[in-house]
Amino acid sequence: MQKSELKMAEGELNVDSLISRLLEVRGCRPGKIVQMTEAEVRGLCIKSREIFLSQPILLELEAPLKICGDIHGQYTDLLRLFEYGGFPPEANYLFLGDYVDRGKQSLETICLLLAYKIKYPENFFLLRGNHECASINRIYGFYDECKRRFNIKLWKTFTDCFNCLPIAAIIDEKIFCCHGGLSPDLQSMEHIRRIMRPTDVPDTGLLCDLLWSDPDKDVQGWGENDRGVSFTFGADVVSKFLNRHDLDLICRAHQILKPSEKKAKYQYSGVNSGRPVTPPRTAQAPKKSVGCLLHHSSSRMSHSPDPGIVHCPPKWIIKEAATDKKTRQGHVQFSQKPDKQQEETGPSEAGLQCQTPAIHRSLSANSLADFL
């Protein structure tokens, strides 16, 4: 990017004004277009790209923050998510990728996320998903949306921005977050840190796997992936990874929860179960959007008895709340196992909250306790 272009784009970018316009459609009919100029959108890409490159490719974050899975151009759901969890800077956020494609408003979705990244660079974080890749979003809708509303050159500007997104995050040294899953090439976190940006997503290797791989309850070790890209991995792989790196959880997105599996998903969770929490995708079930809330704290947490609570590894409790009738959103809670004193005093407000109301594919619990 030429310095003159960068200076011009930044000069024409008023982030506060753009955020205000993007939020004005709250309460309007779903799908209402937000008017943005090409210069504003280009400025978002250029400035956020600069911020992404100034921060590590493997983010090291601290609680509290909320973790969110795939949005896929569902702008109304993104707004509903913020209404549910708090608009920045009321809450800190980590998004796990797949912001564009499939939905009808990828531009509004990615522009609001980039605007918040620019406005709150130390409180709002975006990881790369497999759809933040030119060869994928060229096919699944984002390219066509950019071409229809602006031009192909702007799509290429987004590609330059996406090529600089961070790949993974570690929260409180205990929770590993990425879009897809593990990789046989990931033996050390240094391997992630050595990935140079900007970079496209290769067809094989570590970066590809972090964005594309999937857990599989029926696999031991590594298996073939039905996607035709990357691998599947079993509970044994997850257990070894967590033990090797002294981690408690893997938090990921990337997969759909099938309707037939919703009721049974929790009975499979348990120590070393190796199965990830995967709420349904909004794009396929807009009236049954389900989100997740992950709460990690140095203080132990307590919850009243509930038939929806099951024990994953010993120090984690998993709870599914009923879907809210007004927002059609539910949540799942992960928290540390309570002790007697905490049961008397009630839950602590400190810690990590990862909420994904209206989120399509999210959370992988400890030992990747999978609720498929």
CA distances in angstroms from 282 to 6, 140, 353, listed in the order given = 36, 16, 21
The percent of residues above 90 in pLDDT, for the chain, comes to 64
Structure tokens given for 197: 């940006």
Per the structure, the complete domain to which residue 49 belongs is given by: 37-267+291-297+306-311
pLDDT digits (tens, 9 = 90+) for 97-141: 999 999 999 999 999 999 999 999 999 999 999 999 999 999 999
Does some domain include residue 212? yes
CATH number of the domain enclosing 262: 3.60.21.10
Distance from C-alpha of 238 to C-alpha of 234, rounded to nearest angstrom: 7
Q: What is the average pLDDT across 286-303? A: 37
Active site residue 131: yes
Distance between CA atoms of residues 359 and 84, nearest Å: 12
In a domain, 259, yes or no: yes
- Tell which wins on pLDDT, 313 or 80: 80
Q: Are 201 and 211 in contact (CB under 8 A)?
A: yes
Identify whether the C-beta of residue 150 lies closer than 8 Å to the C-beta of residue 158. Answer: no
Q: Return d(Cα 63, Cα 244) in angstroms, integer.
A: 22
Chain centroid offset of residue 88 CA:
16
Average pLDDT over residues 78-94: 95
Residue in 197, 201, 75 with CA at minimum distance from that of residue 136:
201
Total number of domains constituting the chain: 1
In a domain, 25, yes or no: no
Q: Counting beta carbons within 10 angstroms of the beta carbon of residue 152, is it exposed (0 to 12), middle (13 to 18) or buried (19 or more)?
A: exposed
Would you say 358 and 272 are in contact if contact means Cβ atoms under 8 Å apart?
Answer: no
pLDDT at 255: 85
Answer whether residue 107 is part of any domain: yes
pLDDT of residue 153: 98
Structure tokens at 280: 């349904």
Q: Reply yes or no on whether the pLDDT at 200 is more than 50.
A: yes
- The closest alpha carbon to 31, from 69, 70, 73, belongs to 73
pLDDT score for 313: 35
**Active-site residue (options: 131, 254, 296, 331):** 131
What's the average model confidence in pLDDT over 289-318?
A: 34
Residue 79 covered by a domain: yes
CB-CB contact of 278 with 361 (8 Å): yes
Question: Residue 140 falls within a domain, yes or no?
Answer: yes
Rounded-to-integer distance, Cα 196 and Cα 57, Å: 8
The yes-or-no verdict on residue 9 having pLDDT over 50 is yes
Instruction: Identify whether 343 is part of a domain.
Output: no
Q: 311 or 199: whose pLDDT is higher?
A: 199
**Structure confidence at residue 256 as a pLDDT band (50, 70, 90):** confident
134 in any annotated domain: yes
